[in-house]
Amino acid sequence: MLDNLSNRINKVIRYLKGEAKLTEDNVKKALREIKLSLLEADVNYKVVKEFTENIKEKFLGKEVRESLTPYQYIVKIVKEEIENTLGNDAKDLNKASYKPAILMLVGLQGTGKTTTAGKLALYLKEQGKSVLLCSLDLKRLAAGEQLKVISKEVGVNFFETNQTKLKKIVNELMDVSKKYGYDYIIVDTAGRLHIDEELMSELREVKSLLRPLETIYVADSLTGQDAVNSGLKFSETIGIDSIILTKLDADSRGGAALSIVKVTEKPIKFIGVGEKYEDFQKFYPDRLASKILGMGDVLTLIEKAEKEFDEKEAEKVARRMMKNEFTLEDYKFQLMQIKKLGSMQDIMAMMPNMGLGRNLSNVNMDDKKIDHMIAIINSMTKKEREKPKIINGRRRLRISRGSGRPVQEINQLIKSYFEAKKVMKKPFFRKLMKKFDILNKMR
């Protein structure tokens, strides 16, 4: 998401990198390019106008600070303005002073609302909260069946009833939730392909009966301005408190993300970044701003690593590295840890562009290569994994047959393993590992 916008804005910034100072002429040219980039990304034209005017005001009539070059200054100003457009600070769910706290999801059909209910349930479950999922889409019975399946897959309870009248269903829902002491009820509501008065009337009735802690609008980032316009209509008609933006992993122009907060005046609190239930994150405006400017999203990568990695095993491997006892079994463990983080494209998208001037998610990385390397190591004997130097030509042929990979790949893996071991002997690496060891003890 936002790759095109990121590349265009970075092109403008690189143009100013060669300028000795900011002038009215080069700032005017840069702002024109930024404006075109935002409009091309399907950002609301009023938001574009405000965005460029704010940047222009900060650029012109003010001296660039002595500590910053014109290039550094434009990066700073553009980043600040993107963060401002996205809502500045990350926001948590509203705090509840009672149980159960009801979260009511609203939005058009096809935005991923029902799947998002499951993702949000899993997110809250991982925070140690008890969650009950409920479908109040009375016209589309398949929505309830879908949510029931999702509830089993994410490991939370699903509310079932034989009642057909909305008021009776809500009364039974509240009785059940109070009986079992749920922290949250997540309610999936009806949707339509387009907004109509019947839908809005139904949602107003549901909201008046539920009295939710938070009404959350689920927006599909792929639909750009349509998502923004629908969000504004939902906000004006039934009232919304926050936004979840779905499908940010898709090849969208990204205008919804940069428009919806300003237009609706409601914060984005969560984003969907993939099809899995785990592909759901709290929204940080500063991190998305950094990503747009080619600075990556290393903090999210670190958080994902902390969540997915086996800490005890990783510590054992780190100690063997320090003692120069790193084996091919340890190498396999490292490969499996990387695999847990997701596709290489996703990992590269979180990395800074390191001056390449383009998003690293565009770099072609074959995820199957890691699977092949793991298969090769699995085809080795225990002794071969511990002492790779004994792997001669005959052994390589046997490993090749066992793994289904050519001998050339076995040679490449063994070569990369020995190169990694060389790096581990270097003083800078050993100093780095000691620092990590000290930090671990401090934690």
Quick one: CA dihedral 25, 28, 34, 35, positive or negative?
negative
Domain assignment of residue 208, yes or no:
yes
Which is more confidently placed, 20 or 85? 85
| 189-237 residue pLDDT tens | 988 777 888 888 889 999 999 999 999 999 988 777 788 888 899 999 9
The distance from CA 374 to its chain's CA centroid, rounded to whole angstroms, is: 27
323 and 284 inside one domain: no
Position 363 scores a pLDDT of 46
Report CA-CA distances (Å) from 291 to 139, 177, 247, 250, 311: 41, 41, 16, 15, 28
CATH code for the domain in which residue 428 is found: 1.10.260.30
Position 428 scores a pLDDT of 55
206 and 285 inside one domain: yes
| 359-418 residue pLDDT tens | 444 444 567 888 899 999 999 999 999 999 999 999 999 999 999 999 999 999 999 888
**Around Cβ 278, how many Cβ atoms within 10 Å?**
16
The H or E element spanning position 427 is helix 427-442
Cβ atoms 182, 131 nearer than 8 A: yes
Closest C-alpha among 275, 274, 207, 273 to residue 241 = 207
289 and 309 inside one domain: no
Residue 26 has pLDDT above 60, yes or no: yes
Structural domain ending residue among the three candidates 37, 59, 86: 86
Q: How confident is the model at residue 441 (pLDDT cuts 50, 70, 90)?
A: very low
70 and 119 inside one domain: no
Domain assignment of residue 433, yes or no:
yes
Cβ atoms 246, 256 nearer than 8 A: no
CATH code for the domain in which residue 27 is found: 1.20.120.140
Position 110 scores a pLDDT of 83
372 and 239 inside one domain: no
Cβ atoms 39, 398 nearer than 8 A: no
CA–CA gap between residue 132 and residue 210 (Å, rounded):
14
**Around Cβ 337, how many Cβ atoms within 10 Å?**
16
CATH code for the domain in which residue 166 is found: 3.40.50.300
**pLDDT > 70 fraction of the chain, expressed in percent and rounded:** 74
Q: What is the mean pLDDT of residues 146-156?
A: 94
Position 192 scores a pLDDT of 79
Question: How many domains are there within the chain?
Answer: 3
261 and 207 inside one domain: yes
Cis ω before 100 (30° cut-off from 0): yes
Report CA-CA distances (Å) from 374 to 316, 341, 347: 19, 16, 19
308 and 286 inside one domain: no
| 310-337 residue pLDDT tens | 566 666 656 666 666 788 888 888 788 7
388 and 276 inside one domain: no
Q: What is the mean pLDDT of residues 345-353?
A: 57
Position 358 scores a pLDDT of 46
The H or E element spanning position 216 is strand 214-220
Token pair of 99 as six digits: 């149980």
Domain assignment of residue 95, yes or no:
no
343 and 369 inside one domain: yes
Q: How confident is the model at residue 60 (pLDDT cuts 50, 70, 90)?
A: low
CA–CA gap between residue 268 and residue 287 (Å, rounded):
13
Alpha helices in 67-165 (DSSP H): 70-86, 113-126, 141-154
CA–CA gap between residue 268 and residue 97 (Å, rounded):
22
Domain assignment of residue 69, yes or no:
yes
Residue 69 has pLDDT above 70, yes or no: no
Domain assignment of residue 131, yes or no:
yes
Which is more confidently placed, 133 or 431? 133
Could you list the residue range(s) of the whole structural domain that residue 162 is in?
101-294
82 and 127 inside one domain: no
Domain assignment of residue 217, yes or no:
yes
318 and 342 inside one domain: yes
137 and 52 inside one domain: no
Alpha helices in 18-67 (DSSP H): 24-40, 45-59
